[in-house]
Structure 1
Amino acid sequence: MQIALAPMEGLVDDILREVLTEVGGIDWCVTEFIRVSDRALQPPAFLKLAPELARGSRTRAGVPLRVQLLGSDPSLLGESAAAACELGAPVIDLNFGCPAKTVNRSRGGAVLLNEPELLHAIVSSVRRHTPAHVPVTAKMRLGYASPHGALDCARALESGGAEQIVVHARTKLDGYKPPAHWEWVARVQGAVKVPVYANGDIWSVADWQRCRQVCGAHDVMLGRGLVSRPDLARQIAAAEQGVALAPMAWEQALPLLQRFWRLATDKLSPRYAPGRLKQWVAMLTRSYPEASTLFEQLRRETDCQRIARLIGLDEKSPTNGLERREAISI
């Protein structure tokens, strides 16, 4: 079984990827989508969203990172994929699932599921432009307004050269409203010969077990569920081996927040770092009552020193990245 960390634009950046992959259980992760619009991308565009490329395309925990592209021009996507490969991208992933209105209006993401022929052209172009040893993969939803074209889309991706498909089991119009239609993952897997990952509404080990019962998918991609429960991948990996792990307690999750804050303040300006921390704490409220209390304390706070104290840090805390990582016991 493979467990992947989903690419969530504006949320799972290199900072959160580093912290979550340190917990364990994640086999690979993906960049936020890198948009290709009116020109092929150059190296700086990749290094901004995927600094791991300078470290062998792995997080500091050693988890491989894939580069995800989003756009609708087959040639520009192909040329951009080639540039990413020159930087060492081990896999090129293509986004056909983003439901954001601004993205869809510019012919990106899930809206392309209305055009299976274009899906095929995009994947084919990327496959032609990239070295044979670099896999091309894709992430899709079930469709734009209806799942009835999902099988045609999956076949178009496979015939274009996609070696793996992640299926978020909702349409674009479904957004993130439950339920995820896991039964359609089984239908997609029956229509193609490449591996298919299940994605959507897996918040717990029990959800993963139900998902597998419904669709039979051996591999999964975790998004909001893993962000809300940082050890979910580790729990699922253990359950696959017949071992039941107790969920991470708040006392174990708090050092992850502290490490995230240190990394965020190292990289981001004081204007933006507080918002990034609040965003993750808000997600953690689903799993931890203590996070709800902390979020209320942080909600209107903008001073970085006061924020540090609220999450249990003081001036004597280590400031070196490697020292911080070694100090965390998970």
Structure 2
Amino acid sequence: MSPAPAQLILAPMEGLADHEMREVLTALGGYDWGICQFVRVSGSVLPRRTFARVCPELLQGSRTRAGTPIRVQLMGSDPDCLADNAGRLVGMAPAGVDLNFGCPAPTVNRHRGGAALLEEPELLHRIAAAVRRQVPATLPFTAKMRLGLKDTSRALECAQALEAGGVDALIVHGRTKVDGYRPPARWSWIARVREAVQVPVVANGEVWTPADYAAIRAESGCTHVMLGRGAVADPLLARRIKGQAGGGWDDLGPALSMYWDLVCRRVLPVHAPGRLKQWLGLLRRNYAEAESLYQQMRTLRQVAEVDRLLLASGIPVSHQERQAA
């Protein structure tokens, strides 16, 4: 049997890779699938509208408008409650179900969510097993984890617990919770996890360039790679990795226009400029033009002011109506 072709996956980045950003990045191309931001599960079965709010792709075949499948990520610590919510979610025909054991945010961890559970491999197993019973074998079921809470001492145990619980694949971010997002990512530890389990492992962490992509694959031994902040900082990264026409800043004009349009339609006007500034703040890493635009936009607070600046910069503005999120 020939090996599975390498896949590029768009990471679930809370507060960064929202629905609007997923639409833009997948329209630019290069992604095989992605995962939305987490749906927090705590104490009750959520209504369908909650899942659809976090992952609007569920209302369009669980795909972005470009056709990229988007899986839904659940986060919580109660196996039964997570299973019940997974059952509700499965009824909405998601492209797949993912479990979050990687979020390092203190507010999440204080409520026993995300990476906080990496000290409890037996609980990880119970969660995975409970959710697996609700997710049919035909639907992809994955878990995203870090290497541990404070250290890597239980990384292999956690990965094996999730495998035994029935996940089809593991996505491993090569940092602990305490590491946050500080470089470097520990790609060699992703390799150790890969060697400790039989299910496929997707490598994640500190991939900003095609050279980083080649390096993480070589060091981790993983075929598949998930792109996170590097994908937002260079929206053409996935295309570059796949050897497609890369392009430069001029190719991002339509993407910036599309993003601004989507944001203005879904976000309150008072918050919309901040969302565009956040993206430009990351784009500055790779594009001098983004630095210039960011500096001009820093003090702007009104949508109309941003419209005028974008138009003066040669970036079309197409939104007509704005509605609250």
TM-score in terms of structure 1 length: 0.92
- Checking the alignment, whether the CA contact within 8 Å between 2:203 and 2:226 is kept in structure 1 is yes
Return the offset for 1:133: 1.8
CA distance in structure 2 between the aligned counterparts of 1:205 and 1:249, rounded to whole angstroms = 15
Return the offset for 1:320: 8.0
CA distance in structure 2 between the aligned counterparts of 1:115 and 1:319, rounded to whole angstroms = 48
Structure 2 residue aligned with 1:212: 217
- Checking the alignment, whether the CA contact within 8 Å between 1:254 and 1:311 is kept in structure 2 is no
CA distance in structure 1 between the aligned counterparts of 2:250 and 2:85, rounded to whole angstroms = 43
Structure 2 residue aligned with 1:197: 202
Correspondences of 1:109-258 after superposition (within 5 Å): 109-238=114-243, 247-258=246-257
CA distance in structure 2 between the aligned counterparts of 1:227 and 1:248, rounded to whole angstroms = 15
Cα distance per residue 1:155-180 (max 9 Å; x no partner): 00000001010000000011101000
Structure 2 residue aligned with 1:2: 7
Correspondences of 1:98-117 after superposition (within 5 Å): 98-117=103-122
CA distance in structure 2 between the aligned counterparts of 1:141 and 1:53, rounded to whole angstroms = 27
- Checking the alignment, whether the CA contact within 8 Å between 2:152 and 2:176 is kept in structure 1 is yes
Return the offset for 1:146: 0.6
- Checking the alignment, whether the CA contact within 8 Å between 1:203 and 1:226 is kept in structure 2 is yes
Question: % of aligned pairs identical?
Answer: 50
SS at structure 2 position matched to 1:129: coil
Is 1:74 the counterpart of 2:94 in the alignment?
Answer: no
SS at structure 2 position matched to 1:90: coil
Amino acid at match of 1:267: R
Return the offset for 1:68: 0.2
Structure 1 residue aligned with 2:308: 309
Q: Would the alpha carbon gap of residues 47 and 109 (structure 1) be closer, same or farther in structure 2, given more than 3 Å must change?
A: same
Amino acid at match of 1:149: R
- Checking the alignment, whether the CA contact within 8 Å between 1:258 and 1:312 is kept in structure 2 is no
Give the superposed CA RMSD: 1.7
SS at structure 1 position matched to 2:174: strand
Return the offset for 1:306: 1.6
Cα distance per residue 1:124-177 (max 9 Å; x no partner): 010112223222100000000111211100000000001010000000011101
Return the offset for 1:277: 0.8
CA distance in structure 2 between the aligned counterparts of 1:51 and 1:264, rounded to whole angstroms = 14
Return the offset for 1:310: 1.4
Return the offset for 1:316: 8.2
Return the offset for 1:319: 4.7
Structure 2 residue aligned with 1:327: none
CA distance in structure 2 between the aligned counterparts of 1:102 and 1:173, rounded to whole angstroms = 14
CA distance in structure 2 between the aligned counterparts of 1:236 and 1:273, rounded to whole angstroms = 31
Amino acid at match of 2:93: G
Q: Would the alpha carbon gap of residues 315 and 171 (structure 1) be closer, same or farther in structure 2, given more than 3 Å must change?
A: closer
CA distance in structure 2 between the aligned counterparts of 1:81 and 1:316, rounded to whole angstroms = 41
Amino acid at match of 2:259: F
CA distance in structure 1 between the aligned counterparts of 2:245 and 2:9, rounded to whole angstroms = 21
Return the offset for 1:271: 1.1
Return the offset for 1:253: 1.3
Structure 2 residue aligned with 1:289: 288
Q: Would the alpha carbon gap of residues 316 and 208 (structure 1) be closer, same or farther in structure 2, given more than 3 Å must change?
A: closer
Structure 2 residue aligned with 1:46: 51
Say how many residue pairs are matched.
315
CA distance in structure 2 between the aligned counterparts of 1:317 and 1:92, rounded to whole angstroms = 36
CA distance in structure 1 between the aligned counterparts of 2:291 and 2:253, rounded to whole angstroms = 13
CA distance in structure 2 between the aligned counterparts of 1:306 and 1:173, rounded to whole angstroms = 40
Is 1:96 the counterpart of 2:95 in the alignment?
Answer: no
CA distance in structure 2 between the aligned counterparts of 1:170 and 1:150, rounded to whole angstroms = 10
Is 1:260 the counterpart of 2:259 in the alignment?
Answer: yes
Unaligned runs of 5+ in 1: 239-244, 322-330
CA distance in structure 2 between the aligned counterparts of 1:165 and 1:191, rounded to whole angstroms = 12
Return the offset for 1:90: 2.3
- Checking the alignment, whether the CA contact within 8 Å between 2:147 and 2:174 is kept in structure 1 is yes
- Checking the alignment, whether the CA contact within 8 Å between 2:257 and 2:318 is kept in structure 1 is no
Structure 1 residue aligned with 2:3: none
Structure 1 residue aligned with 2:276: 277
SS at structure 1 position matched to 2:147: strand
Return the offset for 1:248: 2.9
